[in-house]
């Protein structure tokens, strides 16, 4: 398979549209999304449930439910290869080896009837030409690397015998077993308590630096983004509404949705009686507005034209893209004339 040129992004998503067939009609959960992930970069994808974050990661992994979800337009290019042109056998070689994934609830990803060691060995044996003994040795080393004490005995235990934090560490061990170039972490700490969350994030960051890995971190938690990410993409109702580097996003958020997400983060040095929350819910796929801004029904800054003019994602400042009619460059060309 083709390898990337120097300086080329590791992953490039171009105009991606992912649709779901509901009662014979196609509804797009991801609608015209473009972004890049460079080598060794951590890109955060933020938004509430139903914003299309996870569907996007399943599209990148080519793991959409067959016959229900499909990429209807655009491209996902990994290491210079359009994944649409890869066969299932070729994709299987990439998954787990070059791109791997960790999920919010490791119990759904770990098989309850096999030991931790068996499952780790399997990942290694599937992608590397090594003996079972060698796989077991590496499995124990991986468990040590992710901070599991007693790795020699944990290999013989079953997932239900471990705490949530330990299971997530095992998932990370499985995900990094083949030293992937890209790790997709989908809400990796949401199911864990706060202390364990911090430990897992620190572990991910250490491994990312040590292995020179790129990470797509999917989360609803801007606090996690602040800790971890270089670049941030804010998604709402299947579209990117803001994209910039992490410092700019926190010091100069521009989209009203991002600003509301910011207000929901607890601040260390400020005493607030209640945290901000965003009224209303993300529109369902069937109720997505056909024209206008998809955030209009919840936006405190909405103007009458927000219901009729659809904003476009455009650069409003150097390296800072926003999709909101409050900014002239986000207005469609025919509106600006
Ligand atoms: Fe709010 Fe209008 Fe901007 Fe949408 S386009 S975020 S409704 S101000």
* Domain boundaries along the sequence of the chain: 11-98+180-267+274-336
| pLDDT reported for residue 295 | 96
The closest-lying atom of ligand 1 relative to the alpha carbon of residue 257 is 6
The preferred substitution site among 240, 302, 307 for testing ligand 1, maximizing ligand atoms within 8 Å of CB, is 302
**Most informative mutation of 324, 327, 332, 335 for ligand 1 (most atoms within 8 A of CB):** 324
pLDDT of residue 313: 96
Q: Give average pLDDT by consecutive 10-residue segment, the chain, 337 residues.
A: 68 96 92 96 93 91 89 95 91 90 78 95 93 96 93 96 91 92 91 84 92 94 91 96 97 96 70 64 89 95 96 95 94 68
d(CA 225, CA 215): 12
Enumerate residues lining ligand 1, CB below 6 A: 256, 293, 295-296, 299, 301-303, 306, 311, 324-326
Q: Which atom of ligand 1 is nearest to the CA of 305?
A: 2
CA 132 vs. chain centroid, Å, equals 33
Name residue, tokens 């080329």: 8
pLDDT in tens, 27-77: 999 999 999 999 999 999 999 888 998 899 999 999 998 888 999 999 999
Task: Give residue 262 CA to ligand 1 midpoint distance, Å.
Answer: 17
Residue 307 CA to ligand 1 centre (angstroms):
9
Q: Which residue has the tokens 């797509």?
A: 216
Residues 6 or more apart whose CB falls under 8 angstroms from that of 72 comprise 17, 18, 19, 26, 28
Q: Which atom of ligand 1 is nearest to the CA of 306?
A: 2
pTM score over 0.95: no
Distance 154 CA to ligand 1 centre (A): 52
Amino acid 197: pLDDT = 85
Contacts of 247 (CB under 8 A, 6+ apart): none
Strands (E), 107-264: 182-186, 214-219, 231-236, 239-245
Report the pLDDT value the prediction gives residue 232, as an integer from 0 to 100: 97
- Whole-number Å distance, alpha carbon 283 to ligand 1 midpoint, is 15
DSSP character string of 177-213: TT--SEEEEESTTTTS-HHHHHHHHHHHHHHHHHHT-
Q: Which CATH superfamily is domain 11-98+180-267+274-336 in?
A: P-loop containing nucleotide triphosphate hydrolases (3.40.50.300)
| 178/122 Cα distance (integer angstroms) | 11
């Amino acid at each position: 398979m083709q390898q990337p040129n120097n300086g080329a992004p590791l992953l490039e998503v171009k105009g991606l549209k992912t649709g779901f067939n509901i009662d014979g009609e196609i509804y797009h959960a991801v609608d015209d999304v473009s972004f890049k992930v460079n080598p060794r970069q951590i890109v955060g994808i933020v938004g509430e449930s139903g914003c299309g974050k996870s569907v996007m990661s399943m599209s990148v992994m080519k793991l959409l439910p067959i016959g229900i979800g499909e990429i209807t337009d655009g491209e996902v290019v990994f290491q210079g290869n359009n994944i649409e042109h890869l066969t299932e056998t070729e994709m299987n070689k990439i998954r787990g080896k070059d791109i791997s994934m960790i999920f919010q609830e490791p119990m759904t990803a770990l098989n309850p009837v096999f030991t931790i060691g068996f499952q780790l060995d399997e990942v290694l044996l599937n992608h590397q030409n090594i003996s079972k003994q060698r796989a077991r040795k590496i499995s124990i080393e991986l468990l040590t690397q992710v901070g599991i004490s007693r790795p020699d005995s944990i290999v013989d235990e079953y997932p239900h015998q471990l705490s949530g934090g330990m299971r997530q560490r095992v998932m990370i061990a499985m995900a990094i077993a083949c030293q992937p170039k890209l790790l997709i972490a989908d809400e990796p700490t949401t199911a864990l308590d706060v202390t364990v969350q911090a430990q897992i994030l620190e572990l991910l960051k250490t491994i990312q630096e040590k292995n020179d890995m790129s990470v797509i971190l999917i989360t609803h938690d801007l606090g996690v983004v602040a800790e971890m990410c270089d670049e941030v993409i804010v998604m709402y109702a299947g579209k990117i509404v803001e994209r910039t580097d992490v410092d700019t996003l926190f010091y100069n958020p521009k989209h009203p949705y991002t600003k509301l997400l910011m207000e929901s983060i607890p601040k260390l040095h400020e005493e607030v009686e209640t945290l901000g929350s965003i009224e209303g819910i993300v529109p369902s796929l069937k109720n997505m507005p056909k024209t206008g801004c998809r955030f209009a029904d919840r936006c405190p800054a909405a103007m009458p034209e927000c219901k009729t003019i659809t904003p476009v994602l455009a650069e409003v400042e150097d390296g800072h893209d926003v999709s909101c009619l409050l900014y002239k460059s986000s207005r469609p060309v025919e509106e600006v004339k």
